[in-house]
Structure 1
Amino acid sequence: MRSWPAISHPLRRYPVRPPDSGIARRKSIWERIHLDPWLLGLLLLLMGGGLLVLYSASGQRIDTVIAQAIRFCIAIVVMVVIAQFSPSTFLRWAPLAYGVGLAMLLAVEVAGDVGMGAKRWLVIPGVIRFQPSEMMKLAVPLMVAAYLNRCQLPPRFRDIVVCAVIIGLPVVLTAIQPDLGTSLLVASAAVIVVLLAGLSWRLIGLIGALIAAGLPVLWMNMHNYQRQRVLTFLDPDSDPLGSGWNIIQSTTAIGSGGLWGKGWLEGTQSQLEFLPERHTDFIIAVLGEEFGLVGMLVLLALYVMIVARGLWLATSSQDTFGRLFAGSIILTFFIYVFVNVGMVSGILPVVGVPLPLVSYGGTSSVTLLAGFGILMSIHAHRRLLPR
């Protein structure tokens, strides 16, 4: 057996292994499969709690819970598979993913399936019904990050213009479905990439001024129900039995839960069906009524831990593409939570954003966990800097 030479030290007289010995540390199972156990555990805990709340919110329908659990399993498999690919693979696939996503959005306009007054879904008969705009939440920031990876940072004005075109095409196609909520989330996910690239305050001010100038144009092109949502946000009591019903019932449900809640399956607003969309967009109101302020704080604390862990993983990347895209994934996840909680509690207009990994839904769950799979891949394949 090789003996290491003794290194002289005034307080230490024993052999020490040289730092450049070349002997690699044995990798753990998590490192071999490119998953982060802490983030994975937090996500599983969130999904488990989501199924518990969904059982109550769905009117105690076990078939709905089973369907959601199957979707979670599919999403987990997708996350694990995606985590095995290197970030360079995602960089190469960015144009293809973006192009396919645009093609599917155009296909929705031509032959999309209509549901609840909107044309948002594509249907493969007997196979799957999915929402292409959900996939653009990943494809658009992926394409923006891939483009900025080739540019000099901070980006110049012409680079910002190119990014605006990349972002604008899918956002417009999504908004005309109509799906204003998803279009804003797609835009925010991509804008985060641009901001993380290091914009000057002058450009940020210019972009802010352009957005402010475009708000009247946006207002004039909004559908009547979208305008009504904004007006209802400003004054919910103006139409308590119509457009203000959702907000009034959700805030009533949350307030009636008090500190500890009424108990699981004991919520009156939800179980008596006063609360609309209680298993999707307004599911946190069910949790607030049945588990009270304490239950909501526990859920929010879980979200905070997921975001904190995700940010820690994102900052470990040493390349531009990894930092930009990983940061966008986790900060967009935070925006989803903030918007949903804000609209249910009445501090934001209702825009139809589900609560991540708690609300009922398949495409959104797969998209979210696919994003976390990319995040874990970026962390697992990071290039370690020499000490």
Structure 2
Amino acid sequence: MSNKRFIKNLDLTLVGVTGVILLFSLVMISSASTDYGWWMRLGLDVDKLQEANIFQRLLWMKKEYAVKQFVWIMLGIAAAAAVLYIHYEDWRRYTRHLYVVNVIMLGAVLILGHTAMGAQRWIEIGPFVYQPSEFAKIIIIITMADFLAKKEGQLGNIKELVPTFIFVGVPLLLILLQPDLGTSLVFIAILFGMLFVASSKPFLVVGLFGAGLAGVVGLIWSHLRFDTWIPLHEYQLKRLIIFLDPWSDIQGAGYHVIQSQIAIGSSGFWGKGLLRGTQSFLEFLPIRHTDFIFSVLAEETGFLGAALLLILFGIFLYRGVRIANEAKDMFGTLMATGIVSMITFQILVNVGMAVAIMPVTGIPLPLFSYGGSSMITTMIAIGILLNINMRRQKSIF
């Protein structure tokens, strides 16, 4: 394909919005990873820190995380380009192999995995550490899209849906055993999003989701009231429900949520300015460059910056829905649907936990939070969307 035709068939809006979000993320990660202790080690006193302008702060800034994130972005772009090169229909020949690799990869984490922050989710290969459950999201989207496309028109009752639940349940269980509750919830969002499109009776899927949600709420209520068994550790349960009343455990599980609320609530319309967020800079807000990056954004750029990011995400998701709607086959539609479901859920939960309307589950903000595995996975997902869009008409290739 000529370069001119390639550009014509590329969704430039999706590419442009992605680029703006990535640049925005680098700025905020740079700010979020700057800390008071680092500045003091440079020999800067408190008065000088307070008086420093934005240019001085940029010169003194700790740039380690921003540089690493830039490297991840470059690798993600390369991965997206590689995905774009191969016709997405060709992947259907290898979905069984991908599914087996996925299960083996997730199983290996339980045996060879690196433990950090109380969970065994990472695998070390030399100097690199990656999180297989992140890549498992993309694999389950591709393999389930093929699985459901082959059953088109045969998903009209619960009995016909059971094989799909088993199909997703195997890798989902392996992820829960790590334990990684956040990624498990993303899997469920992907499952029901794709089923809603694939099923001949979408309202049946909505009913099953509602029944499942009611069952989980009932199970948690029963545990809290009667101490019945639930398949969660106590710390996981506390993180799930602490957003309902974070002040009940100010120094414990509620600390993150409270500090996030203070950061966002004190920002105003314009924010406090880049590199001037007190909750972030003075390290009151934990894990601010990953889980709570939105809180840093809101504190430093205010309502204006937070609204801008959400608008960008809205445009991104609109393009994803449009690509799903215009795909030339059910396989492409289902893959695009799975990607949109994944990214939508992650945005809702990450932003929601920052403003204390969602549980704290450790789900990153796509394209914005610091992290190599998450960044590369999301960029691969974007490559898939662009691939489906480019080949939406048979006459294109």
Q: What range describes the TM-score normalised by the shorter chain of this pair?
A: 0.7 to 0.9
Q: SS where residue 353 of structure 1 aligns? A: coil
1:194 corresponds in structure 2 to 195
Pick one of 26, 29, 32 that aligns with 1:54. 29
TM-score of the superposed pair, with normalisation by structure 1: 0.88
Q: Distance in 2 between matches of 1:207 and 1:39?
A: 30
Which residue does 1:292 correspond to in 2?
302
Is contact 1:30-1:36 (8 Å) kept?
no
Q: Deviation of residue 27 (structure 1)?
A: 5.8
Q: Where in structure 2 are the equivalents of 1:1-387 lying within 5 Å?
A: 29=4, 31=6, 35-59=10-34, 60-126=61-127, 128-153=128-153, 155-157=155-157, 158-200=159-201, 201-202=203-204, 204-206=206-208, 208-210=210-212, 212-213=214-215, 220-384=230-394
Structure 1, residues 343-384: CA drift from partner, whole Å, max 9, x if none? Answer: 110001101011111111000111111011111111111235
> What is the aligned-residue RMSD (CA, Å)?
2.1
Normalised to the residue count of structure 2, the TM-score between the two structures is 0.86
SS state of the match for residue 358, structure 1? coil
Give 1:137's aligned amino acid.
K
Supply the AA of the counterpart residue of 2:169: G
Q: Helix, strand or coil: the match of 2:326?
A: coil
- What is the identity percentage for the equivalent residue pairs of Structure 1 and Structure 2? 36
Residue identity opposite 2:252 in structure 1: G
* Alpha-carbon distance in structure 1 between the residues aligned to 2:216 and 2:23: 42
Aligned residues: 360
Greater Cα radius of gyration, structure 1 or 2? 1
For residue 3 of structure 1, what is the aligned residue in structure 2? none
Secondary structure of 1:221's counterpart equals coil
Residues of 2 paired with 1:187 and 1:214: CA distance?
Answer: 13
Deviation of 1:199 after TM superposition, in Å, equals 4.5
Question: Cα–Cα, structure 1 residues 211 and 230, in superposed 2: closer, same or farther, change >3 Å?
Answer: closer
User: Which ranges in structure 1 are unaligned for 5 or more consecutive residues?
Assistant: 1-25
Greater Cα offset, 327-336 or 275-284? 327-336
The structure whose residues are more often helix, as a share, is 2
Gaps of 5+ in 2: 35-60, 224-229
CA contact (8 A) 1:262 1:289 kept: yes
Residues 39, 261 of structure 1: alpha-carbon distance in 2 compared, 3 angstrom cutoff: same
Is the 8 Å Cα contact of residues 323 and 333 (structure 2) preserved in structure 1? no
Secondary structure at 2:120's aligned position in 1?
Answer: strand
Equivalent pair of 1:35/1:83 in contact (CA under 8 Å): no
* 1:285 positional shift: 0.6
Contact 1:140 1:166 in 2 (8 A): no
Deviations 1:80-139, CA, capped at 9 Å, x for gaps? 11011112122222222221111011101111110111000111124x211111111111
Counterpart residue identity of residue 369, structure 1 = M
Q: Partners of 2:29 and 2:185 in 1: how far apart?
A: 26
The offset of 1:198, in angstroms, is 2.9
SS class of match (1:120) = strand
In 2, Cα distance between equivalents of 1:258 and 1:289: 8
Distance 1:289 1:152, change over 3 A: closer
Q: Which moved more, 1:180-189 or 1:153-162?
A: 153-162
- Say if 2:192 and 2:205, in contact at 8 Å, map to a contact too: no
